């Protein structure tokens, strides 16, 4: 199984991606602001149930194939880099003046859960992580590839629940300030853009 250093690096890379607001975080924040802490936490559970779909796909062979092929690894890596660069630049260049207040209709807990599930199944940020980042931590010589993928995937879920749960709690506590605050969302955009660009730069240094 992976050594402590590999696990630590994986956790650091995972947190670096998880803390950047993307579709899942935005969904969790808006639901927390609109309906409170409970709705936000239900959304978190739905989102990370969706993460299990990505883990299953990786364990069934996608990441194993990429890890076994230097050419495929390189192609996917630079597709990931390009996507992260796009996300970073789009966040930095995004205009904040026409932001609209967060206003969402109240939904049932069941619907919140399943909407969160769908949001993360279709979340390109999660897909990029499992296609471009996770294979770099998989080493066939230390054990079965599928077992390593499951371990890394479970770490992703644990860290994701903690990170997104913190977003849910914080945004519900600051709901009044976040509603209609273009300045707060612009600061999130700038911070997100810088993290995406940093992750893209880090990814280019990794080798198959």
Tens of pLDDT, residue by residue over 136-171, are: 787 778 888 788 889 999 999 999 999 999 999 988
Q: How far apart are CA 117 and CA 45, in angstroms?
A: 8
Q: Residue 155's closest CA among 177, 133, 176?
A: 133
Residues 116, 121, 123, 125: is their CA dihedral positive or negative?
positive
pLDDT band at 177 (very low <50, low <70, confident <90, very high): low
Of 152, 157, 154, nearest to 136 (Cα)?
A: 152
Query: Whole-angstrom Cα distance, residue 80 to residue 193?
Result: 15
The encoded tokens of residue 19 equal 């803390």
Instruction: Return the pLDDT at 184.
Output: 58
Mean pLDDT confidence for 41-70: 79
76-86 average pLDDT score: 70
Mean pLDDT of the chain: 76
């Amino acid at each position: 199984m992976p050594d402590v250093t590999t696990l630590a690096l994986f956790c650091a890379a995972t947190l670096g991606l998880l803390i950047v607001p993307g579709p899942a975080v935005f969904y969790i924040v808006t639901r927390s602001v609109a309906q409170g802490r409970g709705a936000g936490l239900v959304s978190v559970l739905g989102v990370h149930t969706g993460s299990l779909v990505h883990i299953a796909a990786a364990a069934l062979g996608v990441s194993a194939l990429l890890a076994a092929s230097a050419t495929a690894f390189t192609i996917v890596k630079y597709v990931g880099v390009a996507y992260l660069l796009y996300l970073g630049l789009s966040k930095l260049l995004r205009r904040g003046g026409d932001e609209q207040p967060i206003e969402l209709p109240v939904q049932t807990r069941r619907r919140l859960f399943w909407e969160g599930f769908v949001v993360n199944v279709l979340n390109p940020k999660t897909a990029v992580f499992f296609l471009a980042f996770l294979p770099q931590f998989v080493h066939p010589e230390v054990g079965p590839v599928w077992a390593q993928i499951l371990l890394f995937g479970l770490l992703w879920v644990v860290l994701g629940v903690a990170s997104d749960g913190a977003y849910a709690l914080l945004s519900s506590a600051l709901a009044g300030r976040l509603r209609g605050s273009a300045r707060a969302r612009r600061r999130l955009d700038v911070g997100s853009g810088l993290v995406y660009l940093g992750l893209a730069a880090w990814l280019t240094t990794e080798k198959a």
